[in-house]
Amino acid sequence: MSQVREFKTESKQLLNLMINSIYTHKEIFLRELISNASDAIDKYHFLSLQDDSLKSDEDYKIEIELSKDDKTITIKDTGIGMTEEELVENLGTIAKSGTKSFLEKLKENSENINLDIIGQFGVGFYSAFMVSSKVVVKTKSPFSKDGFVWESSGEETYSIEKIDKKEHGTEITLYLRENSEEDEQYDQYVEEYKIKELVKKYSDYVRYPIMMEVTKQVPKEDKKDEYESITEVETLNSMIPIWKKSKAEITDEDLNQFYQYQFHDYEDPIKSIHMNVEGVLNYNALIFIPKKAPYDLYSEKYEKGLQLYSKGVFIMDKCKELVPDYLRFIKGLVDSPDLSLNISREMLQHSKQLNKIASNLEKKIKNELERMLKNNREDYIEFYKTYGVNIKYGVYDQFGAKKDLLKDLILFTSSKTKELTTLKEYVERMNEDQEFIYYASGQSIDQLDKLPQMELLKDKDYEVLYFTDDIDEFAIKMLMQYDEKKFKNITQGDLNLESKEEKKELEEKEKTYKKLLKYIKDSLKDKVSEVKLSSRLKDSAVCLVSKDDVSFEMEKVLSVMPGANQNIKAQRVLEINPNHQLFQALEALFEKDKKQIKQYADLLYSQALLIEGFKLEDPIEFSNKMCELMIKSSK
Ligand code: ADP
């Protein structure tokens, strides 16, 4: 007796999408079904290694049968099959969280969604409904005495019925839809050449033979120039995993295809690296850098790692030992015959081979990135805009253990060109008398470019590197120097850029205005550690600089870290431009009405804070004082 059941809500949504989608790559249904078949055989094989009741020396295969008369295509496997409960669980609901989140996204944004992104999520079995009006699944699990048939036309319901099936495995028959003019020629999927083409394109490296009966024209034995058609079973796939092939055998297109399929992306990677290593250590590796960073790259849930295989057999999905933290965005796989199949997580950590492979991969990736920077700067910049933060983190992490490896891969924006530049390029361009590599740290290039502290450096024609990522200053502190040139923050300490005469002149002025400066300092109390005349300001009236140890940006970053120590503060020095009109106004006021200086001091300090991107402790008071002053000046 057939039992009719209803699909779960999410499944209905997905099916609806599959049936009505204008998705352009309907042909991927075959890849999805073959991949399920191959997984099912893997599962059977793994279980047979532990369970004596399952025969393991089976002749594993996937067969495809085409019927032009019925317009059907059938995919059979000798895998694990499904029990009745599994049929309900696996084909009646959506188990995969990726597909669920895809549907969520779709709901949020149903109009603008590009349906090509379906490919990204590998929607699996339901993709059969993109080309079929009915799907029939006959299956038997070795753990169930009966076989079952599941049937659905992809609407609200499906049915399940017991059938007589002896061998374990699954057989899926697709009843192809009628051709439609605007849409798709569905009957192409019963053509042998088309299926051959699709298997080669998407499933060539599947480990089990994909077999199909094909018709061939062969010359007749006795008569020349006459042909007869014969049918024979052919294995359509080469079964060699793409990563085992030699470089000459695979094209970039092959690698891109493989990447998109294996790692559920809908765009080509920025970079593919293919390694075949033989010697003391033997392994094949494929490394990909995705064009877009995974959306959860910086969340705690994100798991870094490469897939691990031994002799083409899958061991695990995310082997994290193969990837340093700062490269957590890479995808790919490693296949090594030197690794044992039933290696445990714990053993992996101590595996010498694995550590060696990991360090080889790291070096190779670094070299490839360097080459990209040298030969293909545009690509590198695209890479760097997405992943630069990670590389800088790599310089900083582990107390700078990787800083020498990575120092030539980091870029910063130049104050002169506003383009990204390497430290090497900066040093090559340094002025003859220039001692330091100058940098400024803040929220945006625009803000930094307008900093009062930049005035002197622009005046003297020094290039400054603009830091806008939180990690930047920390990475540079770890690096300490580049090519024996130390780094110097232009908003910290003394820059010592003035000439002897200028220095002397300033010292004179400091003496002359000692009282005024002291008065300002006293009225600001502990807010600043010093008030002094500035040698770095040209047009602006005031600025705030910090003393040499902790900088303002570091203070900001550290203060928002979890468990932050709020006592780590940059020491504030208020610098006043002695050549600014405002200073003359202060001077005059000091003679006339000392008390007012207090108010001015507060306002100056608040302005300097705002310029540095700090919040004011009391913005209302600031506003009131400004108003008072405006009223006064209008009288
Ligand atoms: P995925 O394969 O990515 O998990 P699918 O929607 O393609 O998602 O399939 C859902 C589940 O159905 C699979 O996880 C598997 O348990 C089961 N399944 C699909 N095809 C087969 C098959 N040929 N043999 C056995 N089980 C299968």
Residue 229: half-sphere exposure toward Cβ, Cα within 13 Å: 5
Q: Decide: helix, strand or coil at residue 1.
A: coil
Q: What is the pLDDT of residue 400?
A: 93
90 CB under 6 A from ligand 1? Answer: yes
Q: How confident is the model at residue 120 (pLDDT cuts 50, 70, 90)?
A: very low
The whole-number pLDDT of residue 142 equals 95
Crossing angle of helices 252-262 and 192-203, in 10° steps, is 80
pLDDT at 123: 66
- Domain 242-378 in CATH 3.90.1720.10? The answer is no
CA-based nearest residue to 364, from 385, 343, 341, 334 = 334
Higher pLDDT, 212 or 599: 212
Q: Which CATH number among 3.40.718.10, 1.20.120.790, 3.40.50.2300, 3.30.565.10 corresponds to the domain 500-634?
A: 1.20.120.790
Per-residue pLDDT tens digits for 286-326: 999 999 998 889 888 899 999 988 777 677 889 999 999 99
**Cα 479 to Cα 402: distance, rounded to the nearest angstrom:** 10
CATH of domain 3-235: 3.30.565.10
Whether 115 shows a pLDDT value over 50: the answer reads no
Distance of CA 36 from the midpoint of ligand 1 (Å): 5
What would you measure as the largest C-alpha separation in the chain, in angstroms? 124
Secondary structure in 3-state letters for 542-576: EEEEECCCCCHHHHHHHHCCCCCCCCCCCCEEEEE
Q: Whose CA is nearest to atom 8 of ligand 1?
A: 124
- Say how many Å lie between the CA of residue 125 and the centre of ligand 1: 6
Please check whether residue 326 is in contact with residue 366, taking contact to mean a CB–CB distance below 8 angstroms.
no
What does DSSP assign to residue 481? E
pLDDT band at 200 (very low <50, low <70, confident <90, very high): confident
43 lines ligand 1 (CB under 6 A): no
Given the CA of residue 79, which atom of ligand 1 is nearest to it? 24
Q: Determine if ligand 1 sits within 6 Å of the CB of residue 62.
A: no
Classify the C-alpha dihedral 276-278-280-282 as positive or negative. Answer: positive
Mutate to test the pocket of ligand 1, among 10, 30, 39 (most ligand atoms within 8 A of CB): 39
Atom 18 of ligand 1: nearest residue by CA position: 36
* 8 Å CB contact between 19 and 11: no
Order of strands, sheet of 3-6, starting from the edge strand that comes earlier in the sequence:
3-6, 157-163, 147-152, 132-140, 169-176, 72-77, 62-67, 210-219, 227-235
Q: Give every CB contact of residue 530 below 8 A, 6+ residues apart in sequence.
A: 521, 573, 574
Q: Which residues contact 339 (CB under 8 A, 6 or more apart)?
A: 308, 310, 315, 351, 353, 354
Q: What's the CATH code, domain 410-489?
A: 3.40.50.11260
**Relative to the CA of 96, which ligand 1 atom is closest?**
4
Atom number, ligand 1, closest to the C-alpha of residue 80: 25
pLDDT of residue 112: 47
Mean confidence (pLDDT) of the chain: 89
CB 255 within 8 A of CB 268: no
Look at ligand 1, atom 21, and give the residue with the nearest C-alpha: 36
Tokens of 555: 């203070």
The protein residue whose alpha carbon is closest to atom 7 in ligand 1 is: 124
Secondary structure element (H or E) that encloses residue 5, with its range: strand 3-6
- Comparing 3-235 with 410-489, is the CATH topology the same? no
Residue nearest to atom 10 of ligand 1 (CA): 90
User: pLDDT tens-digit profile of 434-475?
Assistant: 999 999 999 999 999 999 999 999 998 999 999 999 999 999
* Separation of alpha carbons 137 and 87, rounded Å: 9
Q: Name the residue at shortest CA distance from atom 4 of ligand 1.
A: 96
From the CA of 43, give the closest atom in ligand 1.
Answer: 25
SS3 464: strand
- How many residues appear in the chain? 635
**Nearest C-alpha to atom 16 of ligand 1 is from which residue?**
90
Kindly tell me the burial class for residue 430, based on how many C-beta atoms sit within 10 Å of its own C-beta (0-12, 13-18, 19 or more): middle
DSSP string, 191-248: -HHHHHHHHHHHHTT-SS-EEEEEEEEEE-SSSTT-EEEEEEEEE------GGGS-GG
Residue whose CA is closest, atom 11 of ligand 1?
A: 90
111 pLDDT more than 80: no
**C-beta of 10 in contact with ligand 1 (< 6 A):** no
What are the φ/ψ torsions at residue 474 (nearest 5 degrees)? -65, -40
Distance (Å, whole) CA 453 – CA 539: 10
Most confidently modeled of 23-37, 236-250, 306-320, 409-423?
Answer: 409-423
Q: What is the pLDDT of residue 222?
A: 78
Average pLDDT over residues 387-395: 96
Taking the centre of ligand 1 as the mean of its atom positions, its distance from the CA of residue 76, in whole angstroms, is 13
* Cα–Cα distance measured from residue 429 to residue 350, given in angstroms and rounded to the nearest whole number: 46
Distance 149 CA to ligand 1 centre (A): 15
- Ligand 1 centroid from CA 87, angstroms: 9
The share of the chain scoring above pLDDT 90, in percent, equals 60
The residues with which 328 forms a beta bridge, in sequence order, are: none
Q: Are 185 and 194 in contact (CB under 8 A)?
A: no
* Distance in angstroms (rounded) separating the CA atoms of residues 175 and 153: 9
Choose which residue among 33, 36, 41, 77 to substitute to test ligand 1 binding: the one with the highest number of ligand atoms within 8 A of its C-beta: 36
Report the alpha-carbon distance of residue 138 to residue 513 in Å, rounded.
95
> Is 326 or 185 the better-scoring residue by pLDDT?
326
DSSP result, 36-94: HHHHHHHHHHHHHHH-TTS--S----EEEEEETTTTEEEEEE-S----HHHHHHHHHS-
pLDDT digits (tens, 9 = 90+) for 519-562: 999 999 999 999 999 988 989 999 999 987 888 888 888 887 77
Q: Whose alpha carbon is nearest atom 19 of ligand 1? A: 36
Q: Is 125 in the pocket of ligand 1 (CB under 6 A)?
A: yes
The residue extents of the domains of the chain are 3-235, 242-378, 410-489, 500-634
User: How does pLDDT run across 227-277, given as a tens digit for each residue?
Assistant: 888 999 999 998 888 899 888 988 999 899 889 878 888 899 999 999 999
Nearest by Cα to 612 from 552, 547, 565 = 552
Alpha helices for 289-417 (secondary structure H): 345-350, 352-375, 377-400, 403-406
Tens digit of each residue's pLDDT (9 = 90 or more) over 165-180: 999 999 999 999 998 8
Which of 86, 89, 90 is the pocket-test mutation for ligand 1 (most atoms within 8 Å of CB)?
90
User: What is the per-residue DSSP string for 133-200?
Assistant: EEEEEEEE-TT-SSEEEEEE-SSSEEEEEEE---SSEEEEEEEEPPP-SSS--GGGGG-HHHHHHHHH
CB 68: neighbour CB atoms within 10 A? 10
Q: Is 79 in the pocket of ligand 1 (CB under 6 A)?
A: yes
For residue 113, the model assigns a pLDDT of 46
Q: Is the pLDDT of residue 65 over 70?
A: yes
